[in-house]
Structure 1
Amino acid sequence: HRPGVTPMRAPHEHPVPHLGDVSPAAWREAGRRLLAKAVGEWCFEDMLKAVDDGDGNYRVDLDSGITYQFRATPGAFGWLRVEPDSLARTGTGMLGNSIAEPAWDVQRFLLDSATTIGTDASTAATYFTELAATQAVDAARIEHGGTPVGELRDLGHAELETHMTGHNLLVANKGRVGFSATDVRAYAPESGRPVRLVWLAVHRGLGEFRGTPELSEQEIVRRELDEATRDAFTGRLTEAGLDPAGYVWTPVHPWQWDHAVQTLHAADIAHRRIVLLGESQDRYLPGQSIRTMTNITTPGRYDVKLPLRILNTLVWRGIPPHCTAGAPVVTQWLRGMLDTDPYLTEETRTVFLGEVASVTVRHPYLEDLPGAPYQHLETLGCIWREPVESRRDPDERVRTFASLLHVDSAGDAFVAELVRASGAEPRLWLKRLFDTLLHPVLHVLHRYGVTFNPHGQNTLIGYDEQGLPGRLYLKDFVDDVCVSFTEVPERGPEPDSHDHVLPRKHPSVIRQHVMDQIFVGHFRYLAPLCADQLDVPEAEFWRMARETVLAHRRRTPELASRHTEYDLLTDQIPRYGLNRDRIVVTRYGDRALRHALHPNGTLPNPLAAG
């Protein structure tokens, strides 16, 4: 078996069929759903224009002479929720007549629409592979049937992650450029297959450990590795004639060790600046980001964030050295500020899962190359993060915010299952959700001018013993925490030597993180699920969300100027198109740095009055 992969199937593993085991019907159904998502999102991002033909019927006319017709329901922010079974493709037949046929082929749709979108052949071909990889995983899930939401309710945080289906906004959300089909079955979250991590010793001239004040390098190693493993690893260094004290130890993902480290750092390995120690005994499950691993053998041990040189959801999934170096100091700064706030610590009991220690390894040659693509500079290092299991109450279940959007193969939404199981009236349950999620986020935004980029994986909800939302968990601080460039006395001294880790931005941009990640990125999809399965109309859903924002304002009248500065109730908000960025703007050229998104028009804000 591959190093780092447990060969025996564990109880929570899910069979991920080879494509040869996927039926044509499952492939077509996966394509139909993905096509509906593509039509809806690409029109939403103004890549394509939807023509309203009345009575819920729409069409998209393409430069290629092809037209796609469909039925859709208008939603918040000007989004169209496309009905997959209604899609039809009309083209010109051999006799010059127009022929309409049911449409399910999302790959054909990409090629049909390429010139209308304005992308080039190279980008379209590479994006085609991302679409195909995404459809392959979706088809395998359809073939297998998936797990009913009623069974998902009893799963722990790490195992629930393996049942999720990827990023909401991005169409090709499981592209994973660099992974083979075998790699997907071994390392992707949907396989549910535990992974053992490889450990390396990195010479101190190349690697650097950092931790929060209470965590020494020795303490991290003692916490993460049992005594027998520590002794075995130390023995490998001494047997090779090397001084163990001259090295810092770090885990590495087994795929990364095989595909990136042994090639890019071949000279360091040959000169014993990097030494392979072996596998640790603990097994980990990957989350939806793939590179963040949760320990399932010893749950109290830290989550580990590891670089992977694969391209997925817009960027190469490495970890920049300035992020590994800055993670502990950012965590310590946030703790000093937020852990002394009674509203967060006592009233809402908000949990901030700190990134408490890290190892930074810079490439000794490529870091001196001007303009070197960032994918080559982020191949080795790690961040240790506090795990959910160490902070949750005994009777508390913690689930990602994104999990509420999950729909099983029978069409049942996870959010509806949670509401039914709680026995609460849907509006009461939703009010608890809005209060739990929004009050802490808005408090930090308005009082401190800070946001956490609270997307569905960074934001977790803790549910009480009745199944009601009870408190908020936030994670992934480094490179995702932003602060306003306006002076905010409540922030106190800031770690200014890490400006590139704590970027200063205009208040309107800080606000946009909250708008995009919570309201556009999640509530846009949650509202129709609640309308369909909980009988809470979308208009009422948005009124409740707006009322929560207003309740926060009433609670903090002393921050009235900041309510205006970071106004979430404005009539229009900028539109940031993630799919458009990949297909039209960024494409697939190597870049020296991750880039900032730029707005493309505006969206009507459902939180605005009236």
Structure 2
Amino acid sequence: MTTAPTTLTPAAADPHPADHLTPGHLAAAQRHLVAKALAEFTHERLLAPARDRAAGRDAFVVALDAPDGPVAYRFRARRLALEHWVIDAATLTRERAGVPADLDVLELVLELQPLLRIPDDLLALYLEELSATLASAAYKRHRPGPPVAALLHADLATVEAAMTEGHPGFVANNGRIGFGVREHDAYAPEAARDVRLVWLAARRDRTHLALGGGLAEDTLYARELGAATLARFSARLRDLGLDPADYRYLPVHPWQWEHKVAVTFAPDVARRDLVLLGESDDAYRAQQSIRTFLNVTTPARDYVKTAVAIQNMGFLRGLSPAYMRATPAINDWVADLVHGDPELVACGVRVLREHASIGYTGDVYHRTPQPNAHRKMLAALWRESPVPLLRDGERAATMAALLHRDAHGDAYATAAVRASGLDPVDWLAAYLRVYLRPLVHCLRAHALAFMPHGENVILVLRDHVPVGAFLKDIGEEVAVMDERPLPPGVERVRAVVDPAERADAILVDVLDGVLRHLAGILVTDGVLTQDEFWGAVARCLDEHAADHPDLPADVDVRVARFRHSCLNRLQLRNTLQMVDLTDQGGSFIYAGTLANPVARDDALVTAG
């Protein structure tokens, strides 16, 4: 008797191609990332390139006694202020035992393991984050964004999607461990795909909702969802025999629903403590922060920030319901302070308030003896969109664009300066007025520090010239550094720091964290000299001091040297969680001091 062959049920979808993973794209991504690794590890004093005198001027070599034999990296580079290295990636070569070898950032990390001191149990995870970063870079090369000439005139969503570098300092900065190739193509910001958020009804007595001043729950939902969507949600609940009045509405990342909520929270879904309502009517686009979405159907509606349990750049990207209870109150307080300060108003600075947050706490994970990552899987917040705040003739662009080079190597910052028609020094002064000066003022006048890297600032441009800035991500990353009175709900942001150390909020986070990289672009592109660039920064600081002689002088940004805080060392030490959020200051790693390019001639040298 013949047995009939087994019929296989076809898969729901064919395997998603990985067309970006080609030898050519990978080789280009490897060259870029190896050059960046050598530059940033040298900046953090993990490496010390020697002059390669036989190769001529500006030639350097990094010679290593690797486990598999001697290895040498040769390249040409410019050394700029703040020990910033601009490596000419096209000149970069690698030799193993004197024989030419392919560039491979994973091999580089293994060769450097004795110097990098990555814990053995975390080495594979760091290598995985690097592999994912390479995959992301290959994807961007396979689908290059618009050239910078087009980005100068593009809307905010287009500029966000075109960014290629991620964090300028971190080497492993596009990990996104947890996304498959299909999901990367659907949800990564560089994919520029429309995303429809998943909406859940969460039982009211198992959630918290925090609202900013003047905002009511009904108003929030009506504004962000609209009458038709709300009617659909109510009908869905009634069809299940449930009372809509017993529920709140919670937006969820589609990946999070499929991989976490419907599995990890299966009992909650089955009990109808969580009810799937369907997708949003509006389409959204993922921003550079990966878990925050801009509404592209109705741009005046809020950003939505969601939890997504992927590993990226040293953190699991969840959102804590407990932590976010105070977020709207913190944002209201910061916004009132910023919008009520005449100096900051004159600089054109505004805060994008996170004015609503919701978190689900009815799960079993909130009842375990120890805190755990599962408590951060079901929460969201709403943040103001900058779009309705723009005036006629103004355009918004993420500040990360100033550090962006397109597929042809052209820099957005260089193109903006030239398109503006201004003298480059005047353009830089305009930028510093809306970025550096307000941050210095907040620190000196209010002991208030932000985390103002490129992704956390949105520039307002008119005729390609910065005329204002929006500060965002306030609830998680703002700090008050003295003992001034704070409202009870805002007390969480207090992080008392000695006045002499408060300047690190500018010296480390702004000069070294942002302006170092911008100077590297403008100087190597021939737009400005180093003296012109840092001279403009010094004048910005002096002008603010002259305009505000009444403010305390104990926050001095023009000291001779400042502590050299090392970001990659943080990630190398613990790629699972770089920083203890309960003691962020105590988590930092320093490597001596850096010479300050805006130091006064008579400034005292601090201990190295």
In structure 2, give the amino acid aligned to 1:378. Answer: K
Note the C-alpha offset of 1:543. 1.2
| 1:246-298 CA distance string (max 9 Å, x none) | 11111111111111222232221121111111111000011100111000101
Note the C-alpha offset of 1:327. 1.2
> Which residue of the partner structure matches residue 318 of structure 1?
318
Matches within 5 A, 1:336-351: 336-345=336-345, 347-351=346-350
When residues 576 and 322 of structure 1 are mapped into structure 2, their CA distance, relative to the original with a 3 A threshold, is: farther
Is residue 58 from structure 1 mapped to residue 60 from structure 2 by the alignment?
yes
> Which residue of the partner structure matches residue 578 of structure 1?
567
| 1:62-103 CA distance string (max 9 Å, x none) | 3413232322211221122222122222322xxxxxx14265
Task: Say whether the 8 Å CA contact 1:459–1:473 is kept in structure 2.
Answer: yes
> Which residue of the partner structure matches residue 147 of structure 1?
146
Distance in 1, Cα, partners of 2:420 & 2:295: 29
Match of 2:486 among 477, 494, 511: 494
Task: Say whether the 8 Å CA contact 1:291–1:305 is kept in structure 2.
Answer: yes
Is residue 221 from structure 1 mapped to residue 221 from structure 2 by the alignment?
yes
Note the C-alpha offset of 1:521. 1.7
Task: Say whether the 8 Å CA contact 1:450–1:484 is kept in structure 2.
Answer: yes
Distance in 2, Cα, partners of 1:264 & 1:209: 22
In structure 1, give the amino acid aligned to 2:487. Answer: P
Match of 1:417 among 412, 415, 426: 415
Is residue 209 from structure 1 mapped to residue 197 from structure 2 by the alignment?
no
Match of 2:597 among 583, 606, 610: 606
Match of 1:473 among 470, 474, 490: 470
The 3-state SS of whatever aligns with 2:401 is helix
Task: Say whether the 8 Å CA contact 2:314–2:575 is kept in structure 1.
Answer: no
When residues 499 and 33 of structure 1 are mapped into structure 2, their CA distance, relative to the original with a 3 A threshold, is: same
When residues 18 and 110 of structure 1 are mapped into structure 2, their CA distance, relative to the original with a 3 A threshold, is: farther
Distance in 2, Cα, partners of 1:136 & 1:84: 19
Task: Say whether the 8 Å CA contact 2:200–2:274 is kept in structure 1.
Answer: yes
Distance in 1, Cα, partners of 2:71 & 2:198: 51
> Which residue of the partner structure matches residue 530 of structure 2?
538
The 3-state SS of whatever aligns with 2:476 is coil
Distance in 1, Cα, partners of 2:451 & 2:521: 24
Matches within 5 A, 1:237-248: 237-248=237-248
Task: Say whether the 8 Å CA contact 1:63–1:115 is kept in structure 2.
Answer: no
Note the C-alpha offset of 1:372. 3.4
The 3-state SS of whatever aligns with 1:196 is coil
| 1:440-481 CA distance string (max 9 Å, x none) | 2111111111012111111121112x3221112111110211
Task: Say whether the 8 Å CA contact 1:302–1:385 is kept in structure 2.
Answer: yes
Note the C-alpha offset of 1:61. 3.0
Matches within 5 A, 1:195-594: 195-345=195-345, 347-362=346-361, 364-373=363-372, 375-464=373-462, 466-487=463-484, 493-508=485-500, 510-559=502-551, 561=552, 563-564=553-554, 566-583=555-572, 585-588=573-576
When residues 348 and 427 of structure 1 are mapped into structure 2, their CA distance, relative to the original with a 3 A threshold, is: same
Please give the TM-score of this superposition, normalised by the length of structure 1: 0.90
Please list every run of 5 or more consecutive structure 2 residues that lacks an aligned counterpart in the other structure.
1-12, 602-608
Tell me which moved more, 124-133 or 112-121.
112-121
The 3-state SS of whatever aligns with 1:289 is coil
Is residue 179 from structure 1 mapped to residue 171 from structure 2 by the alignment?
no
The 3-state SS of whatever aligns with 2:455 is coil
Please list every run of 5 or more consecutive structure 1 residues that lacks an aligned counterpart in the other structure.
1-6, 8-16, 93-98, 488-492
Note the C-alpha offset of 1:379. 0.6
Task: Say whether the 8 Å CA contact 1:114–1:120 is kept in structure 2.
Answer: no
Distance in 2, Cα, partners of 1:143 & 1:383: 33
Matches within 5 A, 1:15-30: 18-30=17-29
Distance in 2, Cα, partners of 1:102 & 1:119: 24
Aligned residues: 577
Q: Any runs of at least 4 consecutive aligned residues in structure 1 with deviations exceeding 4 A, and if so which?
A: 589-595
> Which residue of the partner structure matches residue 604 of structure 2?
none
Note the C-alpha offset of 1:169. 0.7
Distance in 2, Cα, partners of 1:305 & 1:359: 11
The 3-state SS of whatever aligns with 1:87 is strand
Tell me which moved more, 320-329 or 20-29.
20-29
Task: Say whether the 8 Å CA contact 1:530–1:536 is kept in structure 2.
Answer: yes
Distance in 2, Cα, partners of 1:407 & 1:355: 31
